[in-house]
Structure 1
């Protein structure tokens, strides 16, 4: 039986700052392995461990296992999460009509993410946004774990 996975660890891995990285969950152990583009390239090119820096010699075998083993599942990434929709849901839920209109307006056009962040900061609702975002990511993580029959805590 699979070990229960930490929801917080899954959420943290889903919130990676780089869209080109991917995290994988070992469904047997609950271990999460993050694979960078460079790790992926080295594995695909079958580069020998002796040909990489010492620090990568520890990382590369785990990356290879995550990429090649059916025990690892890719966690939801940016293309699965749709953060813009989460931002729009947050804005729609604002009780102050003027704030709601301003935040929704910030989401339109070029630079929507930057405008959204500056608007919520100016309105003093940044902490509300981050709580909402964390809750949305937790919901997505739970739905993904349920769909993959992975127990969590």
Structure 2
């Protein structure tokens, strides 16, 4: 089985603070499950009182918890380090004025918003998103290689 790198990337980007994406190592399917459902499965909680859509999610969480050898968690924001990515992008810019503006914008609270605003204001948004996409692809490739997952670009 070969997994499309594009699917890994989509799964990585679909995650949030409330959910993680997992790769089914047998089918290549990417699934997204809430932390709440995973906790319910880990604790062995009953779930037949939940709405049908939530029961399906908890069943999937049970499958992940009970057969963890068949699933692996995709890289999360803790693995991706988007702040470091932004900082590396700043240093990659040949224009020192733009570099300084962006480096200042990533300091302190609200760094992500200020960075995005300044990237747009400086007219280098496309350059940033290409850089970010390249970094995400590298992370996805490294994930596949370190987990012995065959992939297709």
In structure 2, the residue matched to 1:42 is: 40
> TM-score, with normalisation over the residues of structure 2?
0.90
In structure 1, the residue matched to 2:7 is: 9
Greater mean deviation of Cα atoms: 67-76 or 83-92: 67-76
CA contact (8 A) 1:34 1:63 kept: no
What is the total number of aligned residue pairs between the two structures?
A: 151
Alpha-carbon distance between aligned partners in 2 of 1:44 and 1:145, rounded to the nearest angstrom: 26
Question: CA shift at 1:139, angstroms?
Answer: 0.4
Measured on the aligned residues, the alpha-carbon RMSD in Å equals 1.6
CA contact (8 A) 2:2 2:150 kept: yes
> TM-score, with normalisation over the residues of structure 1?
0.90
Deviations 1:52-108 (A, max 9, x none): 101123222222112221111111111111111110111111122211111111112
CA contact (8 A) 2:42 2:65 kept: no
Give unmatched runs, 5+ long, in structure 2: none
In structure 2, the residue matched to 1:79 is: 78
In structure 1, the residue matched to 2:92 is: 93
SS of structure 2 residue aligned to 1:108: coil
Alpha-carbon distance between aligned partners in 2 of 1:67 and 1:75, rounded to the nearest angstrom: 15
CA contact (8 A) 2:15 2:21 kept: no
1:123 aligns to 2:125 (yes or no): no
Alpha-carbon distance between aligned partners in 2 of 1:66 and 1:133, rounded to the nearest angstrom: 30
Alpha-carbon distance between aligned partners in 2 of 1:142 and 1:120, rounded to the nearest angstrom: 27
CA contact (8 A) 2:15 2:76 kept: no
Deviations 1:1-21 (A, max 9, x none): xx1111111111112351231
In structure 2, the residue matched to 1:133 is: 132
SS of structure 1 residue aligned to 2:14: coil
In structure 1, the residue matched to 2:150 is: 151
Alpha-carbon distance between aligned partners in 1 of 2:131 and 2:61, rounded to the nearest angstrom: 32
In structure 2, the residue matched to 1:56 is: 54
SS of structure 2 residue aligned to 1:50: coil
